[in-house]
Amino acid sequence: MVEEPETAAPAAGGDARYGAPAGRAEVRRYSEVDVEAARRVPSGFGEFDRVLGGGIVPGSMVLVGGEPGIGKSTLLLQVAARVAESAGPVLYASGEESEQQVKERGQRLDIGDAELYLLAETCLERLLEAVERVRPALLVVDSIQTIYSLSLASAPGSVGQVREAATHLLFNAKRGNVPTILVGHVTKDGALAGPKVLEHVVDTVLYFEGERHHAHRVVRAVKNRFGAVSELGVFEMTGSGLLPVSNPSRLFLSDRAADAPGSVVLCSLEGTRPILVEVQALVSTGAYGTARRMSSGMDHNRLALLLAVLEKRAGLGLAGEDVFVNVAGGLEIDEPAADLGVVAAVASSLRARPVRPATAVFGEVGLGGEVRGTPQAGLRVREAAQLGFTHCVVPAANSGRDTADAGCETIGVETVEDALDALLAVS
C-alpha cells in the first residue's frame, strides 16, 4: 500500500508540472515525417548497440537494471565517454557516487579528455536545470532510485518519487530530444525495484546479468520499442573495464571437457544471434527417498516435463535418480529448441557415455517424444560449423533444405529415441 497525498487540481490553462506544452499540437502527414532526424547515435560498443537495436535512439529513454556490483556504472561510464568523443557533450549524473569516485573509476577505464560532464546530484529539479545548461547529446542517471523531487514529501526511492522522477526525465528526453539512460536497482528476486510504471514509461528495458564469480556479463533487452527483444550483448569484465566479446560461443565453450558424459553442445538462438552453449547434466542415484531435480539456467518445469518424456518414450529409468542440469556460463536458456540438448545430456550422463565428438544439437521435444522443427535452423548449423563442429543432430523437418550449405553434416531425427541413437552411438 502506498500513500498518495492529494494534490491541488491544476489551474485552468494547463498543468505546467511536466513542462508547459509548446504552442499548438502539430499534426504531420505520414509521408512528410523526416526519419533522417532520428538517426541513431552509436554508443561506441557494438555489443551495446546490438541490444539497443542498432544504437541509441534520440529522445529515447532506456532503463538498465541489474544487481549491485554487476557493472552497470562501469558500462555506462564507458558508453558516456565514447559518446562524448563522437557525438558531443554527455552528462553523467551520479546520485550514488561523488565526482571523485566516478573519476577514479574512469581512470581505470582509461577515459581521456572527452566532453564528459559529471554531476553528483540527487535533486531532480537541479538535475533538470543542469541538463538545460549543458544540453547533452546523452544523459546518464545513475540511479533513478536516488533521485528525488522537491515537490513530493516522500523519501527518495519510494514509489511516488521514482515515478515522478522518471516521468519528468521522460518529458525532458522527448522535449529536448535528449536520449536518457537510467540505472535501476533490482530487488532480491531480480525484478526492477520501484513502481511497475517505470518499465511502462521507458522505451527500452535492459537487464545486466552474469555471475559475480565469472568474468563475463550479458546485457539482455526485455522490452524494446526500437528493436528486437531477447537480443544479447556479451561483455567480459577485465581490470580495465568491460570489453565486448565478439564471439560468445567460443567464450561459453571455453571450459568444456569434450568427452565427458553429460555434456552436450546446444545451438541456441538469442535474439537474432546463434550462440553455442554447453548443457551439462548429472544423474546420480538419490540417497534419500525422493529424487531431486534441480536446474540452473533453464526452467524447472520444462526439465520435469522432459524427464517424463525420457522415461515414458525413450524408456530411460530415471525414477529414484537425482537429476541436475546446468547451462554452463550462467546463461539463461528459455527457447524450446534447447529441449533436445537437455534430453541428450541427461541420457548421456545416465548411460555414462559421452556424446559423439564434434557434434552439436538442437530441437524441440513434444510430449509424444517427437522432435519438432525449429526456426532459424540454418543460422544455428552455420554457427556450429564455424566453431569446428562437423555434425549437427537436428529435427528431421530442418534437415536438408534449411541446412544444406551450412558446411556441417546434419543428421535429421524424428523422435527422441532416434536422437539418442545418433548422439550416443558406441563408436
Q: Min. distance of Cβ 71 from ligand TYD in angstroms?
A: 4
H and E: helices and strands count for the chain: 11, 18
Q: Is the peptide bond before 143 cis (omega within 30 degrees of 0)?
A: yes
Neighbours of 259 (CB within 10 A): 9
Is residue 172 within 8 Å of 93, Cβ to Cβ? no
Shortest distance (Å) from residue 110 CB to ligand TYD:
9
| Smallest distance, ligand TYD to C-beta of residue 180, A | 17
Q: Minimum Å distance from CB 73 to ligand TYD? A: 3
Residue closer to ligand TYD, measured from CB, 97 or 417? 97
Least distance in angstroms from the C-beta of 166 to ligand TYD: 18
**Residue partners of 100: CB distance under 8 A and separation at least 6:** none
Give the pairing of strands 263-270 and 273-285: antiparallel
Cα Rg of the chain, angstroms? 25
Q: Least distance from C-beta 271 to Mg ion, angstroms?
A: 26
Interaction with Mg ion in 45-104: which residues (CB under 5 A)? 73
CB of 108 to ligand TYD, least distance (A): 4
CB 124 within 8 A of CB 164: yes
If contact means CB under 5 to 8 A according to the sort of partner, which of ligand TYD, Mg ion, none does residue 240 touch? ligand TYD
> Which among ligand TYD, Mg ion, none contacts residue 66 (Cβ within 5 to 8 A by kind)?
ligand TYD
Decide whether 68 or 388 has the Cβ nearer to ligand TYD.
Answer: 68
> CB-wise, 238 or 254, nearer to ligand TYD?
238
* DSSP secondary structure code for residue 19 in this structure: -
Identify what 424 binds: ligand TYD, Mg ion, none; CB under 5 to 8 Å per kind. Answer: none
User: 192: which 3 cell numbers?
Assistant: 526492477
Contact of residue 68 among Mg ion, ligand TYD, none (CB under 5-8 Å per partner type): ligand TYD
Nearer to ligand TYD, 64 or 307 (CB): 64
112's contact among Mg ion, ligand TYD, none, with CB below 5 to 8 A by partner kind, is none
Helix (H, G, I), strand (E, B) or coil at 176: helix
Please count the residues of this chain forming the interface with Mg ion, following the rule CB under 5 A. 1
In what side-by-side order are the strands of the sheet with 116-119? 116-119, 90-94, 138-142, 180-185, 61-66, 204-209, 216-224, 232-238, 241-244
**Closest distance to Mg ion from the beta carbon of 361 (Å):** 39
- Looking at the Cβ atoms of 157 and 378, the one nearer to ligand TYD is 157
Q: Which does 70 bind (CB under 5 to 8 A by kind): ligand TYD, Mg ion, none?
A: ligand TYD
The residue number whose beta carbon is nearest to Mg ion equals 73
Q: Which of the choices ligand TYD, Mg ion, none does residue 71 contact, using the CB cut-off of 5 to 8 A by kind?
A: ligand TYD
- Contact between 295 and Mg ion by CB under 5 A: the answer reads no
Considering beta carbons, is residue 118 or 420 the nearer one to ligand TYD?
Answer: 118
- Which parts of this chain interact with ligand TYD (CB under 6 A)? 66, 68-74, 105, 108-109, 237, 239-241
Sheet architecture: strand order including 273-285: 293-296, 321-327, 273-285, 263-270, 359-361, 391-395, 409-413
Alpha carbon distances (Å) from 195 to 144, 153, 184: 11, 17, 11
Using a 10 angstrom Cβ sphere, with 0-12 exposed, 13-18 middle and 19 or more buried, the burial of residue 269 is: buried
29: Cα separation from own chain's centroid: 36
The CB density around residue 288, as the number of other CB atoms within 10 Å, is 7
CB of 198 to ligand TYD, least distance (A): 17
Nearer Cβ to ligand TYD, position 162 or 394?
A: 162
* Binding site partner of 82, from Mg ion, ligand TYD, none, Cβ cut-off 5-8 A by kind: none
Q: What residue 241 binds from Mg ion, ligand TYD, none (CB within 5 to 8 A, per partner kind)?
A: ligand TYD
Question: For residue 358, which phi and psi values (nearest 5 degrees)?
Answer: 50, 40
* Residue number with CB closer to ligand TYD (212 or 250): 212
* Minimum CB distance to Mg ion, residue 255 (Å): 29
Q: Is the dihedral of CA 306, 309, 310, 316 positive or negative?
A: positive
**CA 283, CA 302: separation in Å to the nearest integer?**
17
- Closer CB to ligand TYD, 5 or 239, in the complex: 239
Query: What does the angle CA 352 – CA 353 – CA 354 come to, to the nearest 5 degrees?
Result: 125
Residue 73 vs 78, nearer CB to Mg ion? 73
- Contacts with Mg ion by CB under 5 A lie at 73
